[in-house]
Amino acid sequence: MNLKEKLDKIDSEIEIGLKFKATDRLRNLIQENPNEIELWNKLAELYYESGFLDSAGKYWILTEPTHERIKKCVEIYEKSVNYSGYQILQEIVFRGDKSKLSDYAQKKLTELESDSKEKANYIPKFNPKTNKQKKNNSDHKQTFKEKLGGFIFFSILAFIGILIIIGFVTVIKWIF
């Protein structure tokens, strides 16, 4: 299912009142497609309409505040985490490519990282989510240790199977 089909499914769920399910799907889509700010905005809008202003602000944090409601929600969210850049970075878990974001979003992430470095002396690092990672996992070649571990495991299973058969044969000999 492509992104447009998934978004259509989410829209139909929202229409029939399955907002919780729609938010879960949107969060998963954001993890799969972190550079798609449209998804972040859609989730923020859903939270805003449901009255969760701080959660809306969390997902609007990388969006330029063109409307007063966006600015208000982001402020509420930042206040809820005590304006901590470290806490915000931990919660939004941006795994995308910063260079593909708008200038505003890049600037905001840089500000959050510098605040985190200044106050917590640490910047959370998240590995970017790419399709290459998915392909590399499927093309994984086994190392010698992995092959040896598998051989030992199946050898032990075979040995246990042989012992069970010997046990049955011995019991049958005792009975007859």
CATH of the domain at 105: 1.25.40
Segment 154-159 mean pLDDT: 95
**C-alpha torsion sign, points 97, 99, 103, 107:** positive
Say yes or no: 33 and 109 in one domain: yes
pLDDT digits (tens, 9 = 90+) for 105-129: 999 988 998 988 888 887 777 766 6
Are 24 and 61 in the same domain?
A: yes
User: How far is CA 31 from each of CA 17, 39, 50, 158, rounded to the nearest angstrom?
Assistant: 23, 10, 22, 42
157 and 116, same structural domain? no
pLDDT over 80 (residue 133): no
Neighbours of 26 (CB within 10 A): 24
Number of domains in the chain: 2
| Residue 127, domain member (yes or no) | no
| In a domain? residue 129 | no
Contacts of 112 (CB under 8 A, 6+ apart): 85, 88, 89
Is residue 60 domain-shared with residue 145, that is, in the same domain? no
Q: Which of 22-26, 98-102, 148-152 has the lowest mean pLDDT?
A: 98-102
Question: What is the pTM assigned to this prediction?
Answer: 0.68
Q: Which of 106, 121, 40 is CA-nearest to residue 77?
A: 40
> Which domain does 101 fall in, by range?
3-120
Whether 114 and 156 share a structural domain: no
Q: Are residues 18 and 67 in the same domain?
A: yes
Which amino acid makes up residue 2?
N
Asked if 34 and 76 sit in the same domain, the reply is yes
The verdict on residue 42 lying in a domain is: yes
